Amino acid sequence: MYEFDWSSIPGALPLLARGLGITFELTLTAIAVGIAWGTTLAMARLSNHKWLGGAAATYVNLFRSVPLVMVILWFYLIVPQLLKMIFGEGIADIRFTSALIAFALFEAAYYSEIIRAGIQSVPRGQVSAALALGLSYRQTMRLVVLPQAFRNMMPLLLTQAIILFQDTSLVYVIGLSDFFGTAYKIGDRDGRLVEMLLFAGLIYFVICFSASQLVRHLQNRYAR
């Protein structure tokens, strides 16, 4: 029978915490940029402008049909060369930068679909009323439609954030030491991969489960 030996975990905690920091940094940046860029994409898709709508639709469909692993690899191919072209040599952490850009642009495609549905959930009469009151299209969007849309789609946005948090572990494919990458490397180094993987799984579970319970709680409170 396998003999568990958890002794390498306490010593590894500072490194794991640093990895968790990177995981959160990736998640939060991707959420912020993803929602901002996703809102822009959603509004472009809903606009009457044919080219703009078509371009946004192509962007969203392209990103949604390609596996995240491929997107991360793509950006790890392109971003370092772009950075070299712009800043010359000597960029410190290319992996982190390219992962950050990959996640932000990838998540924007998913967020834009959620946001588009959210905007469409606001009754048309509201837009007509706002326009009739003399607000411009821009003001209507900013002051009337978007605040209600975001309120409606809050649970979905948060659920997507939890999925994103889990997906950041895929930066493993470019060797970035996020929480999972760190756990794997330490486990491999100490020959305690079994314990480390179980521990990592437990931590992910605790974080994601609490977050999803919180989302459910918020949902019940707002969906009165």
Partner 1 sequence: MPYHWNWSIFLSPVPSGETTYLGWLGTGLQWTITLSLCAWVIALALGSLLGVLRTVPNRWLSGGAATYVEIFRNIPLLVQLFSWYFVLPELLPPAMGNAFKQMNPLTQQFIAATICLGLFTSARVTEQVRSGINSLPPGQKNAALALGLTLPQAYRHVMLPMAFRIVLPPLTSEFLNIFKNSAVATTIGLIELSRQAQQLVDYTAQPYEAFIAVTLLYLVINVTVMFFMRRLEQKVRIPGYFGGSK
Site residues for partner 1, window 49-78 (CB under 8 A)? Answer: 62, 65-70, 73-74, 77
Q: Which residue of 80, 173, 190, 219 would you call a contact of partner 1, by CB under 8 A?
A: 173
Nearest approach, Cβ of 32 to partner 1 (angstroms)? 21
CB 183 within 8 A of CB 200: yes
Nearer to partner 1, 37 or 180 (CB): 180
Residue with tokens 């326009």: 131
Q: What is the spatial distance between Cα 58 and Cα 55, in angstroms, rounded to a whole number?
A: 5
For 93, the 3-state DSSP assignment is coil
Give CA separation, 29 vs 45, 56, 66, 100, 130, in Å. 24, 21, 21, 7, 33
Q: What is the spatial distance between Cα 146 and Cα 148, in angstroms, rounded to a whole number?
A: 5
Nearest approach, Cβ of 4 to partner 1 (angstroms)? 9
Nearer to partner 1, 147 or 191 (CB): 191
Site residues for partner 1, window 110-139 (CB under 8 A)? Answer: none
215 binds partner 1 (CB under 8 A): no
180 binds partner 1 (CB under 8 A): yes
184 binds partner 1 (CB under 8 A): yes
85 binds partner 1 (CB under 8 A): no
Q: What is the spatial distance between Cα 31 and Cα 157, in angstroms, rounded to a whole number?
A: 9
Nearer to partner 1, 91 or 206 (CB): 206
Which helix (H) or strand (E) segment holds residue 87: the answer is helix 68-87
Nearest approach, Cβ of 18 to partner 1 (angstroms)? 18
Residue with tokens 């659920």: 159
177 binds partner 1 (CB under 8 A): no
> What DSSP assignment string belongs to 115-159?
HHHHHHTS-HHHHHHHHHTT--HHHIIIIIIHHHHHHHHHHHHHH
* Interacting residues with partner 1 (CB under 8 A): 1-2, 62, 65-70, 73-74, 77, 162, 166-167, 169-170, 172-173, 180, 184, 193-194, 197-198, 200-201, 204-205, 208-209, 212
